Structure formats: structure tokens, C-alpha cells
Amino acid sequence: MNFTRLTDEQLTQTLIPKRFVPPSPQEYEGKNMVYVFDSEDSFNLTYDELVEIISKARMTGP
């Protein structure tokens, strides 16, 4: 099998819980817009969300 190795930033974007993604502004509804988190963003995680993130990271592989 051929696996693509994600950068730390790409993996982080994948693992962030959906509830932290802000709603799309009305003018962008229906467009292919993706919210990208950066070092300016911060949020609180519950223990269950942290476990979910770790679980997803383990499934991603080496």
C-alpha cells in the first residue's frame, strides 16, 4: 500500500472536532469553503473530545 504522510498541520485540521468550525457566512453558503485553523485560534476540549482526537490519530497510522 502507498500511504501519504500528512504534515502535523494537515493532521491537526483533520482531528479538530466539528463543533469548533464556525458557521459559514451567508454569502458563502453553498460554496466549497473550508475553515482553516491557525495559531491564532484557541478552544477548550472536553476529556471525551481529547480521547476522540487521540483515537482518530491512532487510526491514521504511522
| DSSP, residue by residue, 7-50 | PHHHHHHHHS-GGGSPPPPGGGTTS-------TT------HHHH
47 lies in some domain: yes
Q: Which 3 state secondary structure label does DSSP give 59?
A: helix
The answer to pTM > 0.85 is no
2 lies in some domain: no
Domains in the chain, number = 1
20 lies in some domain: yes
3 lies in some domain: no
44 lies in some domain: yes
pLDDT > 80? residue 22: yes
17 lies in some domain: yes
* Domain that residue 42 falls in: 8-60
pLDDT > 80? residue 61: no
Q: Which of 12, 8, 6 is nearest to 37 (CA)?
A: 12
pLDDT > 70? residue 62: no
43 lies in some domain: yes
